[in-house]
Chain A
Amino acid sequence: MSKDEILSKVKEAFVSVLEHDNFQLTDETTADDVDGWESVTHMMIISEVEKIFNIKFKLMDLMNMNNVGDLIKTIESEL
């Protein structure tokens, strides 16, 4: 799967949890940049991403995930 495909699926997960699409996702995007992305919705997004890609993240990876770039890298390593 190309990075763009991954990114577009990740965006789907964000939209379905946050119930809006008023944001852009790049490698540098963090929770501060997206309305409604905080601790609770983050957990929901992670769980949605796991479902979409049929993967299971490790707590150690999640612990050090700071932006969308980290998320995509972790997805790539799991695929």
Chain B
Amino acid sequence: MKFVRKLQESIENHIDHNALCINNIFYTYKDFANEISKIRKAISNTIEDTEKLIGLVTNDDIQTYATIIALWLEGKAYVPVNPSTPVERNIRILELTEAKYIIDSSKESDYKDYVVIKSLVLQHTEINLKPKQVSEDQIAYILFTSGTTGQPKGVPITFSNVEALVDAVDAEPEFNLLPTDRCLQMFELTFDFSVVTYLFPFLSASCIYTIPKGAIKYFYIFKLIKEQKLTVLTMVPSIINYLRPYFPEINAPDVRYCSFGGGALHNDIAKEWSNCIPNCKIFNYYGPTEFTVYSGFYPYHKETHQKSHNGIISIGTPQKDALYLVVDEDNNEVPIGVTGELCLGGPQVTPGYWKNKERNAQSFFVRKENTIEQRYYKTGDLCFKDKEGDYQYVGRADFQVKIRGYRVELAEIEFHAKFISDKKVNMVALDIINSLGNAELGLAIESEEFDIKEIFEYMKTKMPDYMIPMHVRFIKEFPHSMNGKIDRKKLRTYFDIKNK
């Protein structure tokens, strides 16, 4: 695979450069190459060739990043599990992928029933970054997102999907990382946005700066920008929403690129933020996990490029080889200016949800274009194309919401809450916008007040923390709309949350 070979060259040719800064400690590409080589040797000594999907505990350390590269050099995929997520959910993910091996840099591993490679305590070995041959359809990683039935949903991404992403981003003349760049890597490795925040810096021999677990993310990012003079920021819009009250104190002339993704970017805040980073190009990226992170972007500029709809900045045009198609309910293309569901085609589309025939039948379809059978993924995002060819995000077609960039199916929260509750009452999970413009989760319960401690304790064993509702309201009778459905809009008004 070309991108894996490029990774090898990038590391070998910049051995003295810094590769990672983790908790104020710098590691060079030589340190990185050493860790990769040790882990890869352990992989080839321990894991049989046929075993391709390997669990990876995503700690914030050099071993975890080195494991990703080591697995790729060995032609294997990583299945990341977050150590702060309930072990039960992680084990479910490992069961779904039938992974037998786990690479874990923790001092004590939680995964006693698996064969664990302890990446922290491996013997030194010679540097070997020569990639093994892989076939295009082999999987490079599988990420799990929230599913409506209480079961996480796996998205496998192949080596050729990643190759197509690298190819498309390389084709973009406006974005070129350099070995001197200092790049923010603020994402959990179970979140697909992380792929671009480690992969592109490593391909360019730049240095990535991570956020230690337990740090107050927003202030730590500012600290890195200020003290380490970061040059490249890749963020979800909620970061700047929370930093907004402090914009007058932020001046970061070193930042060259700032890419947003994973949620709607609003026009007013983008304008204010661009004043904090006066020498920076801003990219508003779009793309779901199912399309290998990015599918295209809009080049925002506070004076020349500020196209928006209802205050939300345009998502621009598809990148190289990506196909956008806006369809009606029968998957027929709608005319320019008409809102429909955005579908994505091209070499970055996942082969399909992991062992989930039913979902695959709903989410993918094939369309004959000229003589070619083109496969499309239905994003669930409502969009329209304007006369200039730019695409505009309008909203969601379903009950999926974005919490701090993470995709959350409200139905999954309701499923777990109702499952454990003794009282069989109606419960509705809602996204509520706080005063800073960010979505928080609320749980509305149709009942007199009762003790919900047990429900919450159960939910915490089933779902990651960002999926646990922060607000609960008991409502004697839910409001209903004209056609008898629960009126979610009205329900939201019961959540008089702080900082309004």
Say yes or no for A63: interface residue by CB 8 A criterion.
yes
Please, which residues of chain A bring their CB within 8 A of the CB of B415? none
Contact B498 A16 (CB under 8 A): yes
Cβ distance B6 to chain A, nearest Cβ, rounded Å: 34
A38, B470: Cβ atoms under 8 Å? Answer: no
Are A48 and B498 in contact (CB-based, < 8 A)? yes
**A-B residue pair count with CB separations less than 8 angstroms:** 52
Provide the A35-79 mask, 1 if CB < 8 A to any CB of B, else 0. 010111111100110000000001110111100000000000000
* Pair A44/B223 contact, Cβ less than 8 Å: no
Nearest chain-B residue to A19 (Cβ)?
B471
Chain A hits for B214, CB < 8 A: 31-32
A33 to B438, CA, bound (A): 25
B216 with A31: CB separation less than 8 A: yes
By CB atoms of chain B within 10 A, which of A19, A38, A43 has the most? A43
B498 near A39 with CB under 8 A, answer: no
Partner of A60 from the list B249, B438, B470, B498 (CB cut-off 8 Å) is B249
Distance from B472 Cβ to chain A, minimum over Cβ atoms (Å): 7
Contact A43 B498 (CB under 8 A): no
Given A19-B470, A31-B216, A42-B216, also A63-B498 (CB < 8 A): no
Query: Does more than half of chain B's interface fall in helix, strand or loop, or is it mixed?
Result: mixed
Interface presence of B15 (CB below 8 A): no
- Smallest beta-carbon distance A41→chain B, Å: 7
Interface of A is mostly: helix
What is the distance, in angstroms, from B253's C-beta to the closest C-beta of chain A?
A: 17
Distance between Cα atoms of A40 and B239 in the complex (Å): 10
**A17 to B435 Cα, complex, angstroms:** 13
Q: Is the CB of A44 within 8 A of B219?
A: no
B436 in the interface, Cβ–Cβ < 8 Å? Answer: yes
Let me know if B434 and A59 touch, CB within 8 A.
Answer: no
Contact with A along B207-219 (1 / 0, CB 8 A): 0000000111111
Residues of A at under 8 Å CB distance from B? 16-17, 19, 31-32, 36, 38-44, 47-48, 58-60, 62-65
State the B residues within 8 Å of A (CB): 214-220, 222-223, 226, 242, 245-246, 249-250, 404, 434-436, 438, 440, 465, 470-472, 498-499
**25 pairs from A and B in contact (CB 8 Å cutoff):** A16-B498, A17-B498, A19-B470, A19-B472, A38-B465, A39-B215, A39-B216, A39-B217, A39-B218, A40-B242, A40-B438, A43-B218, A43-B242, A43-B436, A44-B434, A44-B499, A47-B436, A47-B499, A48-B498, A59-B246, A60-B249, A62-B219, A63-B220, A63-B222, A65-B216
